Amino acid sequence: MCTPVGHSLAGAILVRNSRFPFSFRNGKSVLGLLVVANLPDIDFLFGWIAGNPNQYHQGATHSLLFIVAVSVLAGWGYSRFHPTGTFQTISIIFGVLLLHLVCDMLGKDSRTPVGIPLFWPISDISLHSPVSIFGSVYKSSGSSQFIRSLFCWHNMRTVLGELGVMGVVYAGLKIIGKRR
Ligand SMILES: [Zn+2]
């Protein structure tokens, strides 16, 4: 998995390089982007309530079914109140959510089952990239220590790695964009 920093940056890079009308100066829009980019990890909350934040992590909320359902509902709802096309809004939300799943598959995962159940409920098989480009994330299994456990040197190194990868991707896209 990636940290919220990595997921947020990945979503921001996608939106920045899309044709979706988005203002990084609008606080509400940025908050919406942060929520969507990290939404599949809401499964930590379900586990946290049950006493083990990791219990349901990388389960159903990391499936194509979940992100399609969220994209359609949120995209349709958003476009009712904004002058953006419904399909365009659904597409950008789906893209940001899909990028979350891709980044998770590219992150080191030591917890079994390794990977994410992309095709749940049709298949329970967990998928993961054979090559990891993001580091692992340490997180306590105890609800009371969970938040504090995230702020450790191991996770700081993972965040630095994510900043490096996202920086390279951002710069690469900028160079490609200038050559067009
Ligand atoms: Zn995730």
**Most confident region among 83-87, 96-100, 110-114 by mean pLDDT:** 96-100
| Cα 93 to averaged position of ligand 1 atoms, centre (Å) | 15
- Identity of the residue numbered 177: G
| Residue pair 126/115 in contact by the 8 Å Cβ criterion | yes
Burial 23-40 (b: 16+ CB within 10 A, else e): eeeeeeebebbeebbbbb
Q: How far is the CA of 179 from the centre of ligand 1 (A)?
A: 34
> How many angstroms does the Cα of residue 178 sit away from the middle of ligand 1?
32
Q: Give mean pLDDT, residues 166-173.
A: 96
What spacing in Å lies between the alpha carbon of 31 and ligand 1's midpoint? Answer: 18
Band (pLDDT 50/70/90 cuts) for residue 113 is confident
Cis amide linkage into residue 113, ω under 30° from 0: yes
Write down the pTM of the prediction: 0.94
| Distance of alpha carbon 68 from the chain centroid | 14
pLDDT digits (tens, 9 = 90+) for 31-63: 999 999 999 999 999 999 999 999 999 999 999
pLDDT of residue 177: 83
Mean pLDDT of the chain: 94
Ligand 1 center to 120 CA (angstroms): 15
Domain boundaries, the chain: 4-179
Number of other CB atoms surrounding residue 99 within 10 Å? 19
How far, in Å, from the CA of 98 to the mean position of ligand 1? 10
Give distance in angstroms: CA of 147 to centre of ligand 1. Answer: 16
What is the Å distance from ligand 1's center to 27 Cα?
A: 24
Q: If you measure from the C-alpha of residue 180 to the centroid of ligand 1, how many angstroms do you get, rounded to a whole number?
A: 34
pLDDT level of residue 110 (50, 70, 90 thresholds): confident
Query: Measured in angstroms, how far is the CA atom of residue 160 from the centroid of ligand 1?
Result: 18
